[in-house]
């Protein structure tokens, strides 16, 4: 009888561990969203290549910080820990695309910049799915929806 109680307790501990992990990750994502919105709110809306490059570099820096903080949480507990790891990989890809888009803007290459922007949207959709599968709530709301009308 004690073995059955103990087994249930371990399951509860695992659920609590994952819940704490999810809450911590969502808190990081909420802070990321706040930082992004504040940054974009300070930006002047212009079509200049330099302005676009600065915007993309700022977003890249915010993403890089958030990625480091998410990775610092350690290994994502199961079930579906692989979905969290895949989510973080999509964030890294997204950050790289913002950096490439910024370089394209600096070199007055609107074709490459537009291609990178489209690719960011595709990666966002993929990453949001991973975040939702893991059970994240804030991380998976979708950057497009969260920043609609702000140019991110």
Query: Does the pLDDT at position 150 exceed 70?
Result: no
Name the average pLDDT for the chain.
84
* Residue 98, token pair as written in the block: 């913002």
Q: Which region among 19-28, 35-44, 143-152 has the lowest average model confidence (pLDDT)? A: 143-152
Separation CA 99–CA 116 (nearest Å): 9
Residue 129 to residue 115: CA distance in whole angstroms: 22
Higher pLDDT: 76 or 54? It is 76
Q: What is the pLDDT of residue 62?
A: 95
Computed from CA positions of residues 11, 17, 19, 22, in that sequence, does the dihedral angle turn out positive or negative? negative
**Distances in Å between the alpha carbon of 125 and those of 48, 71, 90?**
28, 21, 10
Reported as a single tens digit per residue, the pLDDT across 69-79 is 999 999 999 99
Q: What is the mean pLDDT of residues 17-45?
A: 91
CA 95/CA 51 separation, integer angstroms: 18
Q: Looking at residue 8, what is its pLDDT?
A: 47
Tell me the C-alpha distance between 48 and 43, whole Å: 12
pLDDT above 70 covers what percent of the chain?
Answer: 84
How many angstroms separate the CA atoms of 143 and 116, rounded?
A: 15
Helix axes of 110-134 and 81-106: crossing angle, nearest 10 degrees: 170
- pLDDT bracket for residue 3 (50, 70, 90): very low
Give residue 14's pLDDT band: very low, low, confident or very high (50, 70, 90). confident
64, pLDDT greater than 80 = yes
Tokens, residue 64:
């890089």
Contact 62, 32 (CB under 8 A): yes
Task: Reply yes or no on whether the pLDDT at 29 is more than 90.
Answer: yes
């Amino acid at each position: 009888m004690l073995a059955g109680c103990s087994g249930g307790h371990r399951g509860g501990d695992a659920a609590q561990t994952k819940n704490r992990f999810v809450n911590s990750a969502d808190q990081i994502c909420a802070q990321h969203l706040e930082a992004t919105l504040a940054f974009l709110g300070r930006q002047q809306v212009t079509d200049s290549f330099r302005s676009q490059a600065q915007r993309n570099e700022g977003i890249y820096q915010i993403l890089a910080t958030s990625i480091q903080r998410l990775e610092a949480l350690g290994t994502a507990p199961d079930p579906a820990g692989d979905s969290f790891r895949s989510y973080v990989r999509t964030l890294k890809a997204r950050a790289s695309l913002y950096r490439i888009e910024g370089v394209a803007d600096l070199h007055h290459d609107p074709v490459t910049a537009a291609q990178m922007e489209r690719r960011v949207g595709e990666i966002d959709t993929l990453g949001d799915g991973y975040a939702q599968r893991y059970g994240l709530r804030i991380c998976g709301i979708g950057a497009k929806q969260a920043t609609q009308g702000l140019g991110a």
